[in-house]
Structure 1
Amino acid sequence: MKNVIILIITVCVSFFVKAQEGLPTDYLSAEFHKSRRDALRKSMPNNSVAVFFANPVRNRANDVDFVYHQDPDFYYLTGYKEPHAVLVVFSENQTNSEGTVYNELIYVQEKNPQAEQWTGKRLGIEGAKNKLGFDLAFNGSDFNKSGVEYSKFDKVLFNNFNNDYRDSKRNQADLHSLIEQFKEQANYDENTLPDPIKSRIYEMIKATDIENSANVAQNIGRALEYYPDLKNDKVIIDYAQATDSNRRLELKQQIIKIEQETPKSNLDTQMLSQLMAGLRQIKTEEELVLLTKAVRISAMGQREIMKAMHPNMSEMEIQGIHEFVYKKYGSEYEGYPSIVGAGNNGCVLHYIENTKMQVNNELVLMDLGAEYHGYSADVTRTIPANGTFTNEQKIIYDLVYKAQEAGIAAAKVGNGFNAADAASRAVIHKGLIDLGIAETDKEARQYFPHGTSHYLGLDVHDPGLYGAFQPNMVITVEPGIYIPDGSNCDKKWWGIAVRIEDDILITKDGPVNLSAEAPRTSHEIETLMKEKSALDDFVLPTLD
Structure 2
Amino acid sequence: MAAVKGIGKREFASRRRKLMGLMEPNSIAIIPSARLAYRNRDTEYPFRQDSDFLYLTGFPEPDAVLVLVPGRRHGQVVLFCRDRDPARELWDGYRAGPQGAVERYGADDAFPIGDIDDILPGLIEGRERVYYAMGRSRGFDARLMGWVNSIREREASGAVPPGEFTDLDHMLHELRLVKSAGELRVMRGAAQITAEAHCQAMRACEPGLYEYQLEAELAYAYARSGARFPAYPAIVGGGANGCILHYIENSERLRDGDLVLLDAGCEYHGYAADVTRTFPVNGRFSPAQRALYEVVQAAHAAGIAAARAGNHWNQPHDATVRVITEGLVALGLLRGRVAKLISDGAYRDFYMHRAGHWLGLDVHDVGDYRVGGEWRLLEPGMVLTMEPGIYVAPDNTRVAKKWRGMGIRIEDDVAIGADGPEVLSAAVPVAPDAIEALMAA
TM-score, reference length from structure 2: 0.90
* 1:230 match: none
Residue 58 of structure 1 corresponds to 37
How many residue pairs get matched?
415
Residues 1:368 and 2:271 aligned together: no
Deviations 1:37-73 (A, max 9, x none): 0111112233322111111211100110111100011
Shift of 1:319: 0.6
Q: Which amino acid aligns with 1:443?
A: A
Aligned match of 1:407 in 303, 317, 322? 303
Letter of the structure 2 residue corresponding to residue 380 of structure 1: T
Measure the CA separation in 1 of the matches of 2:348 and 2:235.
22
Determine which of 130, 137, 148 is the counterpart of 2:122.
Answer: 148
Shift of 1:361: 2.3
Q: Cα–Cα, structure 1 residues 26 and 492, in superposed 2: closer, same or farther, change >3 Å? A: same
Counterpart of 2:164 (choices 266, 275, 287) is: 266
Q: Report what 2:146 is aligned to.
A: 184
Does the residue aligned with 2:59 lie in a helix, a strand or coil?
coil
Shift of 1:133: 1.2
Write the distance in 2 (CA, Å) between the matches of 1:186 and 1:292.
44
The letter for the 1-side match of 2:132 is F
1:68-88 per-position Cα deviation (integer Å, ceiling 9, x unaligned): 100011011011111111011
Identity %: 36
Q: Which of 412, 422, 441 is equivalent to 1:512?
A: 422
Q: Does 1:460 align with 2:422?
A: no
Deviating runs (4+, > 4 A) in structure 1?
none
Residue 90 of structure 2 is aligned to residue 93 of structure 1:
no
1:117, distance to aligned residue in structure 2 (A) = 1.0
Offset, 1:150: 3.2
SS in 1 for 2:253: coil
Which amino acid in the other structure matches residue 15 of structure 2? R
- Alignment partners' CA distance in 1, 2:28 and 2:349: 46
List alignment gaps of at least 5 residues for structure 2: 151-161, 336-340, 370-375
SS at the partner of 1:131?
Answer: helix
- What does 1:168-179 correspond to in 2, within 5 Å? none
**Alignment partner of 1:30 out of 9, 25, 31:** 9
Report the residue type matching 2:78 in the other structure.
L
- 1:114: Cα distance to partner? 1.1
Contact 2:392 2:404 in 1 (8 A): yes
**Residues of 2 paired with 1:313 and 1:117: CA distance?**
42
Describe the superposition over 1:238-283 as per-residue Cα deviations: whole angstroms up to 9, x where unpaired: xxxxxxxxxxxxxxxxxxxxxxxxxx96123x3x111121111111
| Residue identity matched to 2:99 | E
Is the 8 Å Cα contact of residues 149 and 185 (structure 1) preserved in structure 2? Answer: no
1:49 aligns with 2:28: yes
Structure 1 distance, partners of 2:430, 2:257, is 19
Conserved in 1, the CA contact under 8 Å of 2:254 and 2:281? no
Aligned to 1:229: none
Question: SS of the counterpart of 1:51?
Answer: strand
Question: Equivalent residue for 2:354?
Answer: 451
Q: Counterpart of 2:175?
A: 279
1:389-424 deviation per Cα after TM superposition (whole angstroms, max 9, x unaligned): 111111110000000100000010011111111111
Deviation at 1:152, TM superposition (A): 3.2
The 2-side partners of 1:84 and 1:325 are apart by: 32
Pick from 230, 235, 238: which aligns with 1:342?
238
CA distance in 1, matches of 2:175, 2:148: 26
Q: Name the CA distance, whole Å, in 1 between partners of 2:112 and 2:190.
A: 34
Q: 1:187 to 1:434 in 2, by over 3 A?
A: farther
Residues 344 and 495 in structure 1, CA contact (< 8 A), matched pair in contact too = yes
User: Aligned with 2:284: secondary structure?
Assistant: coil
CA contact (8 A) 1:332 1:373 kept: no
- How far apart are the structure 2 equivalents of 1:33 and 1:149? 22
- 2-side partners of 1:115 and 1:361: how far apart? 54
Counterpart of 2:430, as a letter, is R
Write out per-residue CA displacement over residues 11-34 of structure 1, whole angstroms, 9 at most, x where no aligned residue.
x5xx4xxxxxxxxx8232111111
Distance 1:279 1:419 in 2: 23
Instruction: Provide the rounded CA distance (Å) in 2 between the counterparts of 1:310 and 1:149.
Output: 62
Query: After the TM superposition, which residues 115-134 of structure 1 pair with which residues of structure 2 at under 5 Å, given as runs?
Result: 115-134=88-107
Q: Please state if 1:500 is matched with 2:396.
A: no
Which has the bigger relative contact order, CA under 8 A and spacing at least 6? 2
8 Å Cα contact 1:339-1:367 kept in structure 2: yes
Q: Alignment partner of 2:309: what SS?
A: coil
SS at match of 1:184: helix
Tell me how far 1:163 sits from its aligned partner.
4.6
Note the residue ranges of structure 1 that are not aligned, 5 or more in a row. Answer: 1-8, 16-24, 165-175, 189-263, 532-544
Distance 1:373 1:155 in 2: 33
Question: What TM-score does the superposition give when structure 1 sets the normalisation length?
Answer: 0.74
Corresponding residue for 2:208?
312
Q: CA deviation at 1:149?
A: 5.0
Deviations 1:159-178 (A, max 9, x none): 123457xxxxxxxxxxx5x6
**Conserved in 1, the CA contact under 8 Å of 2:134 and 2:141?**
no
Counterpart amino acid of 1:266? E
When residues 420 and 48 of structure 1 are mapped into structure 2, their CA distance, relative to the original with a 3 A threshold, is same
Counterpart among 427, 432, 438 of residue 522 in structure 1: 432
Q: Answer yes or no: is the 8 Å Cα contact 1:300–1:517 preserved in 2.
A: yes
Per the TM alignment, residue 351 of structure 1 is displaced from its structure 2 partner at its CA by 0.5
Give the aligned residue type for 1:29.
G
Does the Cα contact within 8 Å between 1:151 and 1:266 map onto a contact in 2?
A: no
Superposition deviation, residue 473 in structure 1: 1.1
Q: Could you tell me how far apart the structure 2 residues matched to 1:380 and 1:406 are?
A: 17
